[in-house]
Amino acid sequence: MAEEVELRTPQLRLAARVWGPPDGVPVLAVHGWLDNAASFDALAPRLPGARLVALDLTGHGYSDHRPPGAHYHFVDFIPDVVAAAAALGWERFGLLGHSLGGGIVSFVAAILPERITRLAVIEGLGPPTSNPADGPTNLRKAIEQMNALPRKRPPIYPSVEAAIQARCEASGLSWAAAAILVERGLQPVDDGFGWRTDPRLRFVSPLYLSEPQILAYMARIEAPALLICGADGYLVKRDYMRERYARIAGLTVKILPGGHHPHLEDPEPCARLIGPFLTQASD
């Protein structure tokens, strides 16, 4: 059974789910965009020997939202993860991330190479980028979305089942997988059920990193690294990812059947790769 914990950082309160013995190999896990810590519910029990702490990122699950008027920049999640490790008292630890979480933890590994023992990522390596020519349009749209937020009514679902169905339709997840995420991501409201996630998370990013900037981070990753891609997932379709792979000296890439959430839809093959990798002694 997972243990629920709260981590107090200097700025925010972060919620987390914890699996494994207190003396297990410390691993900090970070979920994907609009998901939550329950993303690892199926995988974590299959990682014996690991003390896995799965965060609810800021604005997700049971963690605090950012203050009014703030955006959710990709780089702002990275200090949150570093602060979570400090709250846990971890000097050296492994990292596990999915999708957005994979991008976040790969940057953490790049800026703290002396502290990261191993890096495992699923369907995520660095952040998404965009055409630089779209920068002015994206910034304007982000400001417009922020200004329009007070007038917007968030979606309300008459039942939990309706919310699960909406998540299935939006993401292609199976009912069972979507139900795991929705259970933690939903809250009762006057007219039914609404999402706990901060609606600002859906705004277009006001600023994207360029691909050369991202490659500079990839080149700074020193820990042994494992990337798992779904054969029908997002990364195998993106040619630019090959250059990111090439910049990481100790990277192993494995492709498993499935889509963007292989660790949640079919966790056993992921566990057979990730478990021994994360718990293997590092130099």
Mean pLDDT, the chain, as a whole number?
A: 95
**In Å, how far are 157, 170, 193, 218 from 182, measured between CA atoms?**
12, 12, 11, 33
If pLDDT is split at 50, 70 and 90, which confidence band does 99 have?
very high
Task: State the residue range of the domain holding 49.
Answer: 3-129+209-279
- What Rg, from alpha-carbon coordinates, does the chain have? 18
Residue 33 and residue 162 in contact, taking contact as beta carbons nearer than 8 Å: no
Residue 96 and residue 116 in contact, taking contact as beta carbons nearer than 8 Å: no
Could you tell me if residue 253 is inside a domain? yes
Model-level pTM greater than 0.85?
A: yes
- Number of other residues whose CB lies within 10 A of the CB of residue 224: 21
Diameter of the chain measured on Cα atoms? 55
Annotated catalytic residues are 99
Q: What is the CATH number of the domain that holds 31?
A: 3.40.50.1820
Adjacent-strand bridge partners of 229? 255
Q: What is the pLDDT of residue 165?
A: 97
Residue 225 and residue 252 in contact, taking contact as beta carbons nearer than 8 Å: yes
Q: What is the pLDDT of residue 87?
A: 98
The total of structural domains in the chain comes to 1
If pLDDT is split at 50, 70 and 90, which confidence band does 283 have?
low
If pLDDT is split at 50, 70 and 90, which confidence band does 237 have?
confident
Could you tell me if residue 202 is inside a domain? no
Range 116-125 average pLDDT: 98
Could you tell me if residue 32 is inside a domain? yes
If pLDDT is split at 50, 70 and 90, which confidence band does 280 have?
confident
Could you tell me if residue 110 is inside a domain? yes
Could you tell me if residue 148 is inside a domain? no
Could you tell me if residue 218 is inside a domain? yes
Could you tell me if residue 35 is inside a domain? yes
For residue range 239-256, list pLDDT tens digits in order.
889 999 999 999 999 999
Could you tell me if residue 193 is inside a domain? no
For residue range 125-180, list pLDDT tens digits in order.
999 998 999 999 999 999 999 999 999 999 999 999 999 999 999 999 999 999 99
CA distance 221 to 114: 10
